[in-house]
Structure 1
Amino acid sequence: MTKEYYLYVGGQKIKVSKQIYKVYWQEREHEKYLEQVDKKNHLLFFSSLNHDGNFEDNLEDKSVDVEKVVATQMMIEALRNAMSKLNKDEREIIERLYF
């Protein structure tokens, strides 16, 4: 008696050949292995961020005000640039007053 092989497609039980059955399960096992490797290496898939179809809102870190960070960095850069133009005595006065 020959063994029959079945796969479920769309909730329906479909009879398939032994070769198709083996290939299907090889692929499934390979996918599971790759997922385990990814979890072990702490990889994050972009598709896992698609909760509602809006990737950008799910990627945004609302706890960080990027505009404020950029503005602060620009002010620090301008300050460093201005400080580099001061002579030794002027820099010493600034350092004594503020540092």
Structure 2
Amino acid sequence: MKKEPFVYSYNKPCLDWYQTVNVTINDGDYLYFRIERRYGPSWWLIGMSPEEKPKFRWADTDLGEIHEGDLLRFIEWAKIGNGSQIIEFKSISGDFDILGELLRLTDRT
């Protein structure tokens, strides 16, 4: 069963102002997803698909920053059967308490 596309937007700096970036993820665009905690503090969404050549490698696509409200919606959207297309949570620095952040985030649901 096909899901409706997941749509969200975020603002990124552009010259001396901000640009709104609209993101649409269709069911089937990516096999898996990774969520990263970066400086800011901010969450970033990465789409993951297998590469044709060379085999056994993944092509990562940076889909952009995702705010907590949208991230909570995305976590629900990414559920499949008894599992999820989200297969990895990552932090770019040991200064982040990634487990604490995940617990804080999921407490809100």
Answer with 1 or 2: which has the greater Rg.
1
Q: Indicate the TM-score class for this superposition, using the shorter chain for normalisation.
A: under 0.3
By relative contact order (CA 8 Å, sep 6+), the higher-ranking structure is 2
| TM-score under structure 2 length normalisation | 0.18
Q: Per residue, is there more helix in 1 or in 2?
A: 1
Q: Per residue, is there more strand in 1 or in 2?
A: 2
